[in-house]
């Protein structure tokens, strides 16, 4: 898949947010704020970074994205619609009785590699995927890469750091961790709940190549993610400074919108604030 332009990615992210808002409203579902902090990242990843093809979804050499913060499912499904894995009709089934589009990411959904929902599972899975992608000869490039999107609250989980040790020890430079640093978790500020800072130093100390970026700066993320690994022989982690609920004024930086679902009036305002985006397809046009 060719790299989309920044403006094409931008309009896809708008479209994703609009879909996700309608989905969580219709399903009376939560976690929209946690999805909006990574909407721009997912738009960048599916806008030409990930080597995936909806026409050949089982290609053994495809890159694998693992959304370890599986509660942001609605936004991932919207990204998969943008990438051609799902239809708008699929999205409309989200959270409905009998649907496979569950509130936490399900591998039964086309384009999804792993079911997630319990935090701290994604990075060990990514280590296994990256290990499988290593070529027999160290001179050959890996057959595929593993991208793992984690929350910052998720960094509390011990299993994240077991995997961090493992990936560095085995020099898995086809493993890329992306940390959504929105600074909010279940009951409040990450630094008040269980202090993470200095987070980048922790990853460096574990042997990872570390970068930091504004998780809503699409050109910057495109630039960083097109030059991976950050350092040969080391796994890469990019800490993305983000705003929970990004794009909707009354959702931004609030813990409450981890849980709430927009009512009709809030939906209308939110749709207005996130912008129009393109209704279908034109962002793919040359």
Partner 1 sequence: MRHAFFRTLETLAAADPNLWLLTGDVGYSVVEPFAAAHPGRFLNTGIAEQNMAGVAAGLARCGHRVFTYSIANFPTLRCLEQIRNDICYHNLPVCIVSVGGGFCYGAQGYTHHGLEDLAVMRCLPHMTVVAPGDPVETRLALQAIARLDGPAYLRLGKAGEPLVHAADPPDFALGRALTLRQGRDGCLLATGGLLAPTVQLADELHREFGVSPRVLSLPTLKPLDHEAIRAAARETPILVTLEEHSSIGGLGSAVAEVLAQMGNVPPLRLFAAPDALTPAVGGQEWMRHRHGAPAAFVRRALAEAGVIPPSAPSA
Choose which of 123, 149, 225, 271 interacts with partner 1 (CB under 8 A). Answer: 123
User: Which of 169, 175, 162, 178 is closest to 231 using CA atoms?
Assistant: 175
Residue with Cβ nearer partner 1 (158 or 232) = 158
**Minimal distance in Å, beta carbon 81 to partner 1?**
23
Residue with Cβ nearer partner 1 (13 or 66) = 66
**203/211 Cα distance (integer angstroms):** 10
Is 121 a binding residue for partner 1 by CB under 8 A? The answer is yes
Q: What is the dihedral of CA 107, 109, 113, 114, to 10 degrees?
A: -30
Burial class (CB in 10 A: 0-12, 13-18, 19+), 279: exposed
User: Which of 41, 27, 42, 33 is closest to 103 using CA atoms?
Assistant: 27
User: Which of 83, 87, 96 is closest to 23 using CA atoms?
Assistant: 96
**225/3 Cα distance (integer angstroms):** 11
The piece of 28-36, 118-126, 182-190, 199-207 that touches partner 1 (CB under 8 A) is 118-126
Is 103 a binding residue for partner 1 by CB under 8 A? The answer is no
Question: What residues between 149 and 168 interact with partner 1 by CB under 8 A?
Answer: 158-159, 162-163, 165-166
Residue with Cβ nearer partner 1 (102 or 267) = 102
Are the C-beta atoms of 85 and 91 separated by less than 8 Å? no
Residue with Cβ nearer partner 1 (132 or 193) = 132
Choose which of 16, 34, 42, 130 interacts with partner 1 (CB under 8 A). Answer: 130
Contact set with partner 1 (CB under 8 A)? 60, 64, 107, 113-118, 120-121, 123-133, 136, 146, 158-159, 162-163, 165-166, 169-170
């Amino acid at each position: 898949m060719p790299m989309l332009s920044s403006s094409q990615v931008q309009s896809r992210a708008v479209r994703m947010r609009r879909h996700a808002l309608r989905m969580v409203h219709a399903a009376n579902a939560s976690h929209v704020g946690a999805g909006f902090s990574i909407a721009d990242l997912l738009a960048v990843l599916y806008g030409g970074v990930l080597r995936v093809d909806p026409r050949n979804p089982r290609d053994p050499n495809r890159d694998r994205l693992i959304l370890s913060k599986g509660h942001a499912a609605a936004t991932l499904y919207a990204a998969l619609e943008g990438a051609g894995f799902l239809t708008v009709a699929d999205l409309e089934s989200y959270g409905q009785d009998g649907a496979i589009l569950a509130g936490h990411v399900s591998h039964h959904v086309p384009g999804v590699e792993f079911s997630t929902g319990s935090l701290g599972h994604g990075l060990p899975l990514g280590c296994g995927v990256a290990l499988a992608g290593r070529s027999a000869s160290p001179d050959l490039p890996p057959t595929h890469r593993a991208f793992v999107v984690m929350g910052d609250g998720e960094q509390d989980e011990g299993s994240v750091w077991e995997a961090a040790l493992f990936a560095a020890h085995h020099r898995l430079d086809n493993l890329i961790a992306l940390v959504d640093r929105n600074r909010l978790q279940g009951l409040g500020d990450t630094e008040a709940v269980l202090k993470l800072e200095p987070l980048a130093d922790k990853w460096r100390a574990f042997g990872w190549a570390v970068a930091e970026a504004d998780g809503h700066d699409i050109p910057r993320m495109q630039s960083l993610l097109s030059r991976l690994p950050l350092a040969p022989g080391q796994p890469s982690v990019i800490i993305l400074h983000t705003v929970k609920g990004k794009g909707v004024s009354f959702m931004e930086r609030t813990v409450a919108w981890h849980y709430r679902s927009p009512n009709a009036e809030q939906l209308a305002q939110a749709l207005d604030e996130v912008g129009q985006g393109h209704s279908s397809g034109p962002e793919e046009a040359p």
